[in-house]
């Protein structure tokens, strides 16, 4: 009986890429695996065909030879030993038996989980840096068993089912396979006398008081990594890390833009037109700011070096004040009279903004 086309066997096209073939192989191999079809000779033969097809098409050289000559057989025909079944079954066994199914005894030690703590601080604290203490709820090693999970005075015993191997082997068809030992879960050892304090977990949940230092210049969303300050590891595994995430509280005056601080500064028309000096907020206090005559709405005035320090401490940003022109909503009779007089004497005058506006109007409408 002639062999089926390898591409047809896997149900893929002749131009299928590696990912498509791998996906098709996994699905079919799991469907026809002897373990899922005990005693079914047809399924066993189909499984062999699928494995043979994938072994050839997953190897670039063998695939090229097959595409050209329709075979990869030598004088003696197809040789399964050339196909490296130990390699092509790796992915299959990982999905079918679970991670660790083909390996030896499972390692018991596991790294502890990482933790995240959101720390709210003010802008002034971010500018100056600070040391603070935080209470972290986390798993720590049990004080009774010191993380072993064993009742003091006892020890772990070799699993009688797998004899310490972590696996049990069985033969199905032409394959000899291994499964994780169901008795010990692949560890090769059993705990007959778990610690009563932690119930064999080796860890207990506690509140941990931790002192941390926040460097000057941190931004909202910055993370500080504290190695080993996360959850305790399991069965002797290393502890996880703690990530402290900085959250800045809103400031009554300033918003941060890089290392600069921006504040809206309301000015009256006379202050902006004539120039003046006003008191403005700065971090940790206040300062005097000179407003030049003819200051325009939206213009930004700066106090150099009064912003945030850079995180590396090489320079400071600026405190920036964006001018907002405040128009009075109510006028006294005297104020109205003076403004009308100002308007009268300014008739026909146009500043640069007004002149530019009128020019653009003329170009647009041709008048």
CA-closest candidate to residue 52, choices 30, 19, 74, 85: 85
Q: How much is the mean pLDDT over the chain?
A: 84
* Co-location of 77 and 47 in the same domain: yes
Question: What is each CA distance from 268 to 262, 279, 361, in whole angstroms?
Answer: 19, 14, 29
* In the predicted structure, residue 83 carries a pLDDT above the cut 50: no
Confidence of residue 31 (pLDDT cuts 50, 70, 90): confident
Q: For residue 18, give the CATH number of its domain.
A: 1.10.287.110
Number of domains in the chain: 3
Out of 43-47, 144-148, 286-290, 327-331, give the one with best mean pLDDT.
Answer: 286-290
Instruction: Say whether 341 sits in a helix, a strand or coil.
Output: helix
The pTM of the full predicted model, rounded to 2 decimals, is 0.60
Whether residues 66 and 132 share a domain: the answer is no
In the prediction, which pLDDT does 88 show? Answer: 46
Contact 321, 288 (CB under 8 A): no
The answer to whether residue 277 scores a pLDDT higher than 60 is: yes
> What confidence tens digit (pLDDT) does each residue in 335-361 have?
999 999 988 888 877 777 778 888 888
Residue 213 is classified by DSSP as E
Residue that is last in its domain, among 248, 268, 283 = 248
User: Which neighbouring-strand residues pair with 244?
Assistant: 117, 224
Q: Is the pLDDT of residue 322 over 50?
A: yes
Lowest mean pLDDT among 23-37, 131-145, 301-315: 23-37
Tell me, yes or no, whether 143 and 238 share the same domain: yes
Is 360 found in the same domain as 308? yes
Percent of the chain clearing pLDDT 90 (strictly above): 41
Domain range for residue 125? 115-156+191-248
The stretch 31-49 carries a mean pLDDT of: 83
Whether 139 has a pLDDT exceeding 80, the answer reads yes
Residue 136 sits in the same domain as residue 218: yes
| CA 185 – CA 200 distance, rounded (Å) | 15
From first CA to last CA, the distance across the chain in angstroms is 94
Predicted pLDDT at 192: 85
Residue 222 shares a structural domain with residue 136 = yes
Give me the residue label for tokens 């399991």: 234
Considering the domain architecture, whether residues 271 and 239 belong to the same structural domain is answered as no
What pLDDT shows up at residue 291? 97
Closest C-alpha among 4, 216, 188 to residue 131: 216
Give the model confidence (pLDDT) of 239-268 as tens digits: 999 999 999 999 999 999 999 999 999 999
Residue 107 lies in a domain: no
Taking Cα atoms as reference points, which of 287, 290, 292 lies closest to residue 307? 287
What's CA 76's distance to the chain center, in Å? Answer: 55
* Residue 102 banded pLDDT, cuts 50, 70, 90: very low
Task: Of 88, 86, 71, 203, give the one whose Cα is nearest residue 140.
Answer: 203
* Cβ pair 238, 228 in contact under 8 A: yes
């Amino acid at each position: 009986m002639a062999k089926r086309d390898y591409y047809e066997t896997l149900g893929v096209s002749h131009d299928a890429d590696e990912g498509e073939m791998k996906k098709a192989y996994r699905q079919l191999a799991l469907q026809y695996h002897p373990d899922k079809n005990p005693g079914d000779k047809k399924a066993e033969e189909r499984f062999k065909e699928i494995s043979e097809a994938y072994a050839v098409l997953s190897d670039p050289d063998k695939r090229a030879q097959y595409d050209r000559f329709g075979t990869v057989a030598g004088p003696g025909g197809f040789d399964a030993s050339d196909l490296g079944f130990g390699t092509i079954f790796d992915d299959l066994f990982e999905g079918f038996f679970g991670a660790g199914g083909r390996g030896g005894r499972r390692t018991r030690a596991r790294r502890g989980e990482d933790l995240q703590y959101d720390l709210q601080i003010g802008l002034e604290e971010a500018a100056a840096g600070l040391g603070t203490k935080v209470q972290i709820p986390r798993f720590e090693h049990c004080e009774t068993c010191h993380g072993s999970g064993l009742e003091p005075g006892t020890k772990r015993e070799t699993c009688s089912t797998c004899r310490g191997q972590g696996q049990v082997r069985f033969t199905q068809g032409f394959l000899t396979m291994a499964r994780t030992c169901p008795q010990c879960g692949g560890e090769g050892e059993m705990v007959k006398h778990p610690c009563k304090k932690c119930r064999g977990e080796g860890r207990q949940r506690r509140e941990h008081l931790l002192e941390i230092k926040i460097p000057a210049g941190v931004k909202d969303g910055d993370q500080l990594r504290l190695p080993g300050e996360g959850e305790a590891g399991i069965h002797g595994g290393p502890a996880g890390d703690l990530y402290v995430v900085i959250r800045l509280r809103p400031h009554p005056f300033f918003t941060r833009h890089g290392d600069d601080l921006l504040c809206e500064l309301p000015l009256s028309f006379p202050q902006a037109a004539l120039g003046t000096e006003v008191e403005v907020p700065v971090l940790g206090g206040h300062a005097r700011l000179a407003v030049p005559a003819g200051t325009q709405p939206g213009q930004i005035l700066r106090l150099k070096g009064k912003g945030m320090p850079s995180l590396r401490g090489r320079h400071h940003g600026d405190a920036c004040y964006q001018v907002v022109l405040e128009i009075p909503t109510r006028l006294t009779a005297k104020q109205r009279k003076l403004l009308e007089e100002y308007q009268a004497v300014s008739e026909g005058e146009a500043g640069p903004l007004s002149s530019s506006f009128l020019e653009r109007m003329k170009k647009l409408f041709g008048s």
